[in-house]
Structure 1
Amino acid sequence: MIQHSLKHPIVISENKTITEVKIKEFPTAEDYLAFDMPGRNAQLIALVASMTTQDESIIKKMHGDDYKELSLICDKMAYPEFYAAEKPAEAKAAAEKKEQES
């Protein structure tokens, strides 16, 4: 599992806050069931929930910045062929920027 720190922790209750999620290292067949749902946002929420093993209700409470980042990570893992056209230099710069932010 890949640990991913949230920039904006999710406060569940007075005693529980989610500060990071773990992402599966690769999608399983079950994760692709997310794409059986109507609507792209519903699909991505279901995909992120499945790949992080979090309940969809938790993903729905996630700050938009964290959600967008996680949905992109999970979508790229599920369909890398759609992102293969990215320019290598841009992909490298994005990876380096992400490392610096961590």
Structure 2
Amino acid sequence: MAKERALRRAAREAEAAKQRARRARIVARRQRRRALLTRLMPRRRRTGRLLVRRSRGQRAGIAVVTLVLLALVWFLVDDIALRLVLTLLGLLCLPALVVVALGRRTS
């Protein structure tokens, strides 16, 4: 009985060793492929700044002009529904107006 168990255990261990070797080959292949791809792909150059498309002055100008226009809408328009509609319309159109006014730079 002990010999049979030892034989079965040896067979299980041999099968487990085959599976471990197979998994190790797969992992090694993945790592080699990933290393090759990282060597071949161009690196992304990140500047580490958020919103780098616009300079600090441009961003400040956009914010100031937006706030001034919203203040004008809220001071000059009496109807609250029209105020809300003009505010939402202005905020929705703001990105398009910024691109038209300042252009889209590609770095």
TM interval, shorter chain, is under 0.3
Per residue, is there more strand in 1 or in 2? 1
Give the TM-score of the pair, scaled to structure 1.
0.20
Q: In proportion to residue count, which structure has more helix?
A: 2
- Scaled by the length of structure 2, what TM-score is found? 0.20
> Which structure would you say has the larger Rg?
2
